[in-house]
Structure formats: structure tokens, C-alpha cells
Amino acid sequence: MNIPARGCRRRAIAPRLCHRPVEPVGTERNSGTVTVRRAAAVLLSVLAVAGLAGCRGDDAGELAVTVSRSGCAPEWRTAHGGPRTFQVHNTGINTTEVELIDPGNGAVYAEVENLGPGSTRPMQVTLGRGRYAFRCLPEDTDASTGRTVTVHDGPARGAPAVVPVDEQVLRGSVTRYRRYVTDALPRLRADVSRLRRAVDSGDRAAARRAWLPAHLDYERLGAAYGTFGDLADAIDRLPAGLPDGVHDDGFTGFHRIEYGLWHGESMTALRGPTAALATAVGKLQRTFRTERVDPNDLPLRAHEILEATLQFELTGEADQGSGTTLATARANVTGTEAVVHALRPVLASRYRKLHAADASLSRLAGLLDAQRHGDRWTPVDELSRYDRERLDAATGDTLELLAPIAALAQVRRAR
Amino acid sequence: MSEEPDAARRGTDDDPPDTDDGLPGTDGERTGTDAALPGTDAARPGADGERGDAGAARRGAGGERWPRRQLLTGAIGVGAGAVAGVGGTLGTQRYARAKPAPRPDRIPFHGTHQAGIVDAAPAHTTFVSFDVLADDRAQLRELFATLTDRARFLTSGGTPANPGITAPPDDSGILGPQVPADRLTVTVGVGGSLFDHRYGLADRRPAHLTAMRTFPNDDLDPAWCHGDLSVQFCAPNRDTVIHALRDVTRATRGAMQIRWMIDGFTSPPRPSGTPRNLMGFKDGTANPDTGSAAEMDRVVWVGARQRGEPAWTRGGSYQVVRLIRMRLEFWDRISTSEQELLIGRRRDNGAPLDGTHEFDTPKYAKDPVGSAIPLTSHIRRANPRTARTRSSVLLRRPYNYDRGVDAVGDLDMGLVFVCYQRNLAAQFEAVQTRLIDEPLVDYITPFGGGYFFALPGVADGTDRYGSALLG
């Protein structure tokens, strides 16, 4: 399920790993020098606060704060609990990330990302009893933390907070996932070779039997949305997006072979596509060792694999004749479990519904296993209405529980 | 219904129940109902002379200008349709002391009865049938609690919960950061299949709640029939309906799955009076008086100690939905007079064929062989206006639908017929039985729908849907 042709997810999340402080300016920030810029900022903020506070009061919900190189929300001094909107205004010259944190452990309650110079954006948060501080992370500059404000009233617990994940923490997870894939690749390669021998021998029945195990080896890897780059297309693309569809020369890989095997194409005609598949899988094994994996991909993968399963396998769209999309879906559950397992050290302290997500995945696996009858899997269109609704609902439930992982485990800048 | 739309629903109607001739319909002429299709039946309370100014003004209007009532209340626009349309008949008393009608942004969620039943139908709806996938009764209870929470929030409006950086946003955002109530209603019903073995509810099944019958002229597609739950969203704006649908399906993901759903819309009055359906005929004139709590109790709401009904059903109502395709290309190829004979009314102003104005009452007694209004016409079959058929009066709340195009390039459009009654057999099924083989059936094809029981209202902030049903 790793097919750009199926709609490559265009990543909108900026690779924030790239931010590096290049210019230590902490001394200036701490020097207490009031620059003209800062004076202007203070004036602006005073006006803004006066405008808002004049009718609503400082604690009635909305407060204007400024961020710049010389201050991180200096306007914020006291607070009552409850829902609150900060209008965060960047008076500085650097695009800045602004977080509201627990100064005790650095956990983030709310954030405004990529706040450009001169722009203002709202930050909404419910304050509970506890200690809060703004943290400003300007591009190319060290982070700074504003005054600690203690809330003594209002709800006991406010907005949920999460301790930021830094790249170092996530790297361990990536290593675990890479090992999982690396360990699985030899089996994929062997099963593809077996498929190739069956195709070359002209034995259609043997080739059909060999096709599914090889395909599932690949689907268990947990590939999704361009994980393996161009090789993903060569190995597992669907005919969508090709001008001549299943008859297009660009239709390659497992599904190309599946189409031929189950649509009466001559076995000779399938030799070429099978050889090309074997080549692509060999190349995958050779290059994966050195391919860089963006750590931020892994948390996204937690729900992306099954998003594609819902779109292509559970609808039956991916089926090219074998009627085994539920087997693919089951393999995708395994791939997802591998991703969640790799992320577990990151998630254990951060995601309170992790057990529910695990349970939901197990339940989905069980529902899929129930559609396996020896070597045969129920084709999607032969499912009873009730069984199909149950599978779809269980998948939807799992996806809702997996989706927060992408947000929770996203790498956030620490310094 | 543009004023105090909840009076009847909440059982707090402070108006005199009706005019001096006693309960509506006692003369066998005044309260009528056409069921299923384009029927427009004149004899509705308020159309008679006893109504005083209102009736006179409306008769005088003859469908050619705004009825005076609408001018007085200032409720032109949506309100105009509402007043004269499906849901709306206000008593003379309320009319007489008409004051500027407050149109609050929200329709109260809590009440004896659910909203979205006797309220005038706003411009947009989505009717959804769900299958429940909860594993057991406890999960079912949880599902109903979640449904209640979401419906309460969505119909009240407010700021969605903010998960901060720990999850994707809770809200789809399509209504902006503050969710307006926008007069949204969410109406929840249960289907007969919910009372099967799964949740141990067999002994609590409402007396008449079966799977929808197949009538002889139906062509039902199983994919568009039945369901464990019905949820109907209604609002003046399409985005409000879609926002609510997305919110509810997301919050209940895994516990229920959409079985089928259909979008509907209502039309403004053209040019006045009752809105027209896609056949070009005014549709919905003949509803009982939704402004009268007494009449709604008689027609719509299951009452205390209603024979054969489990106690929990009190305050609920049988909901029938029928998805009825209209063969519009065929319809457009027949003459106006043939159309009018099939319906029993004039197409231009909705008057019965023996009358002059929309709200004139057909005089079947003077036309025993059907020379003016054929005996087989839709309105005459649906509501023969005899003492014996009075008990089959029901409350209709229809919408038009548009599903695009069919395999031969014809338009797939028609009616989402929704009606409410306290006794499914004596009301909807009796009417529909009279309509079997009416000549109009050549131009319509019922293809889906279901029988549901609209739950009693959610009483207050601690109550939830089906609390009396599920314990």
C-alpha cells in the first residue's frame, strides 16, 4: 500500500528538525536593554491589552501578548483558570514558534507554529490549576521562556499537555522500525523468487499460490504513502493514474502480476513483470540499509497505513482478481502494530489511550482473521452486510485512536 | 411555526387548543391528511371561516399574494414557508396577538418531545440510517450517551473542545471556530432491528415497530431500507447539517456505521402558500395543527397508557421514512389536466378541483361519483374525509431529494417522505393501503426507507436519549 499513484500524501508538516540555533544571543536578551523595537512592541501590546481588557477584563477570555527577541509574552502576569484565548503577536524579525508550557517539565499545552514577523494568531487553551509559561522558539535563535504564571482557581485540570518529543528520542523508535523492515526483507525476497520460478515454469496454479505470501510479505512492512520512494511504485502500484489502466506499460509489480494470473493472460507474458518485480525487491533490500528515514514519518505512519487500507483494500478497489484484499488488510494491521511497537517508548508516557489503540488493533486483526478460510480469504464483495459494516467500523475506530499519535510524537524543538 | 416553535413539542402550549367548533376534525372535514405524495389537502385547521381574520385573509389571497398572517408576523422568507407549510398552523389566538416574532438562533434541545418533528421543516436535511455495531448493552448505552452529548452541543452551539497539541482538532471547522446553533435539530429514532437478540431489548419493542412493509407498488432496494437507528439533521443551511453529520459520525466511530443516507431540501412558497414538490404541486397543506398540543397528542405522540405500548415510548412517535423516486421526465410529458386529475388539485394554485383557492375544502359528499375530483385521485384516496378515516390523520414532514442522474440519463429526484404518528398501523399503513394502485403510481417509485420510533425527548442536562428504554 505504498503507491504514490493512490494519492501520495503531500506532507504539510515542516521538517522542524532543521531549525538550529546559529547565533547565541542569550546575553543580549538578558541584558535588560530596551531597544526602540521593544519599546514599540510594549506600546503596541499595551494598546492591545487596553483595548481588549477595557471591555472584557484581563481574565474574561482574551489577552494580547507579544513575542520578540527581547521578550516572550511579557504582558502575561496573572491568570484565572478556564478557557482563554491569547492573541499572540510577533513584533520581532524572526519567524517564531510560541508554546505555552508547564515550566516544571516542559510539557506543551498549546502552540502557535511559524508565527511570522508582524503577524498575530490566536492561541486557545483551557487553563487548569498549575504553573504556566510562554516559550518562544525563534528561527535561527535560542529559545527563551517567559514569566511563570500560577493559576490557583478554575478547573483542576486544564488542556492536556504533552512533553515534547525531540529527535533523539524518536531516533530510537526509527531504529527499531528499521530493524523490523530489515529483518523482513529476506523473506520477501525469497517468496518473490518462489513466485518467479512458478511463473517461469508456466504453472498458473502454483503461481497463484505463490503470489499471495509474497504480496503479504511486502504489505506487512508497513509501507505507506511513498515510504520506499519510486520502488514502491515498481513493487505495489495500482493501475489508477495510468492512461491505459491495467493495459498500461507502466502497470507493474504485484498487482500487475495478479491481474494477469487471474485474468487468463499467458504465463509467458507475465515473465517480464515478475522479473521486474524481483529486481525491484532486490534493489529495495540493497538500498534500504542506507536510505535515510525521516523520524517524523514514523508517527504519521501509525494511522496512514490503515487510512490506505480503508481506501483501497476494504473498498475492494485494490483487488485485481485474487479477491485477497482482506488478507492485505490483515498484513497492514501487522505493519501498523510494528510501527506502534517501535513508537511505544515515546508513547507510553504521552498517550493515555495507547492501550485502547492496542486493543482496537487486536480486535480488527481478529475480525479479519475470521474471514480467512485456510488459504482462501473472503472477497470484500462477498462479505455479509453486517460483517462488512463491522470491519469498516472497527477500522474507523482504530484510525480514530491511532490518529493522535501523529500529533503526540511529532518532533518538537527543545532548545 | 415561526413563533415559539416548541410550544407543542414541549407540551407547554398556552393557546386555546382550537376554535369554537371543538376539536379539529370532528366534522370529518376539517382535518385531513394526504399521505405519501404530492397531496395537498385543503382542509386544515385555520382555513375555515371560524379562524376569523386569518382564514378570510387567506381565502381572499387566493394564493395570489402574501397571506396576511405572514405580513403581520413579518415572517417572510423562511418563515413564510414555515407558517403556511408543512409544520405550520398557528391558532387564531396566537395570530391575533401577533408580536414581532423572536427568531432565536437555537431550537431548545431539552423537552418532553424531540425537536425536528412538529417544528417547521427548515431548508435542509440529511436523513441517516445507521446500523449499530456496539458489542453489548453497555456499549449501546455509551453510544446513546455520546449521541446525546454531541446533539446537545451541536444544537446549542459554542466553542468546540480543544485538544491542544495532543490530537487532531475535535471539530471539522466548517462553521468556523465558534459553532453556531443555527436552529439545528437532531432527531433520533430506533428501528425494529435494534430489538433483536443483540441487546436484550426484545420485550421493549414498540407495539407496531416492525421492518417496513413492502407495498405492492414499491420497488425496494435492500441497500436503501431499514436500519437500527435513524438520525435526521435539519437546519436552514446545508453546511450546518454537514457539520453536525461529521461531528456525530466521528464521535460514534466504531459503534455505528451509516447504512444509507439521503439529503433533502424544501422549497420556498411559489409564489405563496404551501411549498411545491418537484412535480410542481403544492405539498403539505393538509397537516394537522402543529401549534396545538392537544392535536399533536391526538395524532403524533405516544401517550401514557397507550394500549400495547411499553411505558418508555411515552412522548415518542412512530417515524416513517419513504424514499420515493419521481419519474419526472414522464410526468413532464403528460398534460396539466391529466396531472391535476391524478392529484385531485389544480397545479397553479393548489385548489381542489371542485374549489377555487388552495385552502378550500373538497366537498366529496356532493361529488359521489368523482366527476370533479376523481375517486382514484391522490388526495381523495389518501384522505376520503369520512368519519371513519379521520383516525388515519398523520403529520407529514417531507423533503425533496436530488440524487443526480440514473442509468438512462434521467434525473434521480423525488421525495423524502417523512411522517409521524402515534399508531403506525392505524395511520401510515391505513393511508398507504388506500393508496395502493392509485393511478399516480405510474409516476413514482418508492425505493427505500424504513420504520423507526422517534425516541421521547431528552428531559434535561442529566438525561440522555433512550434513558427510559435502556435504563
Q: What average pLDDT does the segment B351-370 reach? A: 95
Examine residue A129 and state whether it is found in any structural domain, yes or no.
Answer: yes
* Closest-CA residue to A28 (of A131, A124, A142): A142
Closest residue of A to B134, CA-based? Answer: A390
Taking an 8 Å cut-off on Cβ atoms, the answer to whether B165 and A108 are in contact is: yes
pLDDT at site B80 = 29
Taking an 8 Å cut-off on Cβ atoms, the answer to whether A124 and B162 are in contact is: yes
* C-alpha to C-alpha distance for B460 and B338, rounded to whole angstroms: 52
Is the domain of A266 the same as that of A361? yes
Examine residue A207 and state whether it is found in any structural domain, yes or no.
Answer: yes
pLDDT at site A223 = 74
Q: What average pLDDT does the segment B317-327 reach? A: 98
* Residue matched to cell numbers 501590546: A45
Q: Sort strands A82-90 and A62-68 into parallel, antiparallel or unpaired.
A: parallel
Residues whose CB falls within 8 Å of the CB of residue B454, separated by 6 or more in sequence, listed in order: B114, B117, B187, B188, B189, B230, B316, B317, B318, B319, B420
Q: Which of A87, A116, A151 is the last residue of a domain?
A: A151
* C-alpha to C-alpha distance for B459 and B314, rounded to whole angstroms: 12
Per the structure, how many domains does chain A have?
Answer: 2
Judged by a CB distance cut-off of 8 A, whether residue B259 touches chain A is yes
Is the domain of A251 the same as that of A301? yes
Residue in A110, A396, A404 nearest the CB of B254: A396
Alpha-carbon gap: A110 to the closest alpha carbon of chain B (Å) = 5
pLDDT at site A23 = 32
Summary mean pLDDT of chain B: 83
Cell, residue B183: 436552529
The answer to whether residue A202 scores a pLDDT higher than 60 is yes
Examine residue A158 and state whether it is found in any structural domain, yes or no.
Answer: no
Examine residue B322 and state whether it is found in any structural domain, yes or no.
Answer: yes
Taking an 8 Å cut-off on Cβ atoms, the answer to whether B164 and A110 are in contact is: yes
Residue in B131, B163, B164 nearest the CB of A389: B131
Taking an 8 Å cut-off on Cβ atoms, the answer to whether A404 and B256 are in contact is: no
Candidates A124, A165, A361, partner chain B, best to mutate (most B CBs within 10 A): A124
Per the structure, how many domains does chain B have?
Answer: 1
The answer to whether residue A248 scores a pLDDT higher than 90 is yes
Secondary structure (DSSP) of B78-137? HHHHHHHSSS----HHHHHT--PPP--S---SBSSB-SSSSSPP-SEEEEEEEEE--SSH
Alpha-carbon gap: A194 to the closest alpha carbon of chain B (Å) = 40
Examine residue A125 and state whether it is found in any structural domain, yes or no.
Answer: yes
Residue in A122, A389, A407 nearest the CB of B166: A407
| Secondary structure of residue B279 in the 3-state scheme | coil
The pLDDT-based confidence of A414 (bands split at 50, 70, 90) is: low
Examine residue A48 and state whether it is found in any structural domain, yes or no.
Answer: yes
Is the domain of A318 the same as that of A353? yes
Examine residue A273 and state whether it is found in any structural domain, yes or no.
Answer: yes
DSSP state of A358: H
Closest residue of A to B223, CA-based? Answer: A385
* C-alpha to C-alpha distance for A335 and B356, rounded to whole angstroms: 73
Examine residue A29 and state whether it is found in any structural domain, yes or no.
Answer: no
Is the domain of A231 the same as that of A130? no
A305, A307, A313, A315 alpha-carbon torsion, rounded to 10°: 180
B419 within 8 A of B428, measured Cβ to Cβ = yes
Q: Which of A279-293, B44-58, B312-326 has the highest mean pLDDT?
A: B312-326
Q: What average pLDDT does the segment A75-99 reach? A: 93
* C-alpha to C-alpha distance for A408 and A347, rounded to whole angstroms: 8
B360 within 8 A of B377, measured Cβ to Cβ = no
Examine residue B384 and state whether it is found in any structural domain, yes or no.
Answer: yes
Q: Sort strands B317-326 and A376-377 into parallel, antiparallel or unpaired.
A: unpaired
Candidates A389, A405, A413, partner chain B, best to mutate (most B CBs within 10 A): A389
Is the domain of A138 the same as that of A207? no
The residue ranking higher by pLDDT, B467 or B162, is: B467
Judged by a CB distance cut-off of 8 A, whether residue B250 touches chain A is yes
Is the domain of A286 the same as that of A146? no
Q: What average pLDDT does the segment A371-392 reach? A: 96
Tell me: the pLDDT tens digits for A129-159?
999 999 999 998 889 999 999 999 988 888 8
The answer to whether residue B56 scores a pLDDT higher than 80 is no
Taking an 8 Å cut-off on Cβ atoms, the answer to whether B166 and A124 are in contact is: no
* C-alpha to C-alpha distance for B320 and B427, rounded to whole angstroms: 11
The residue ranking higher by pLDDT, A24 or A104, is: A104
Residues whose CB falls within 8 Å of the CB of residue B38, separated by 6 or more in sequence, listed in order: B277, B279, B281, B283, B343, B378, B415, B440
DSSP state of A269: G
Q: What ipTM describes this predicted complex?
A: 0.84
CATH number of the domain to which A73 belongs: 2.60.40.420
Judged by a CB distance cut-off of 8 A, whether residue B97 touches chain A is no
Which residues span the domain enclosing B277? 49-105+269-454
The answer to whether residue B63 scores a pLDDT higher than 70 is no
Which residues span the domain enclosing A100? 34-151
Which residues on B lie below 8 Å from A155 (Cβ)?
A: none
What is the value of pTM for the model shown?
Answer: 0.83
Judged by a CB distance cut-off of 8 A, whether residue B134 touches chain A is no
Alpha-carbon gap: A386 to the closest alpha carbon of chain B (Å) = 8
Examine residue B338 and state whether it is found in any structural domain, yes or no.
Answer: yes
Which residues on B lie below 8 Å from A389 (Cβ)?
A: 131, 133, 257, 259
Which residues on A lie below 8 Å from B131 (Cβ)?
A: 385-386, 389
Judged by a CB distance cut-off of 8 A, whether residue A161 touches chain B is yes
Ordered alpha helix ranges (H), A165-296: 167-201, 204-219, 230-236, 253-262, 271-288
B397 within 8 A of B121, measured Cβ to Cβ = yes
Taking an 8 Å cut-off on Cβ atoms, the answer to whether B162 and A404 are in contact is: no
B68 within 8 A of B145, measured Cβ to Cβ = no
Cell, residue B49: 371561516
Cell, residue A415: 532548545
The answer to whether residue B31 scores a pLDDT higher than 50 is no
CA angle B429, B430, B435 (to 5 degrees): 90
Provide the total of helices (H) and of strands (E) in chain A, helices listed first. 11, 11
Examine residue B323 and state whether it is found in any structural domain, yes or no.
Answer: yes
Examine residue A81 and state whether it is found in any structural domain, yes or no.
Answer: yes
Is the domain of A262 the same as that of A195? yes
Is the domain of A305 the same as that of A333? yes
The answer to whether residue B252 scores a pLDDT higher than 80 is yes
The answer to whether residue B13 scores a pLDDT higher than 70 is no
The answer to whether residue A70 scores a pLDDT higher than 90 is no
Examine residue B446 and state whether it is found in any structural domain, yes or no.
Answer: yes
**Counting one residue from A and one from B, how many pairs have CB atoms under 8 Å apart?**
70
Is the domain of A76 the same as that of A221? no
Judged by a CB distance cut-off of 8 A, whether residue B304 touches chain A is no
Closest residue of A to B164, CA-based? Answer: A110
Is the domain of A393 the same as that of A321? yes
Is the domain of A93 the same as that of A199? no
Is the domain of A74 the same as that of A127? yes
Q: What average pLDDT does the segment B128-144 reach? A: 97
**First-to-last CA distance in chain A?**
37
pLDDT at site A60 = 52
Beta bridge partners of B317: B454
Closest residue of A to B252, CA-based? Answer: A397
A23 burial (CB, 10 Å; 0-12 / 13-18 / 19+) is exposed
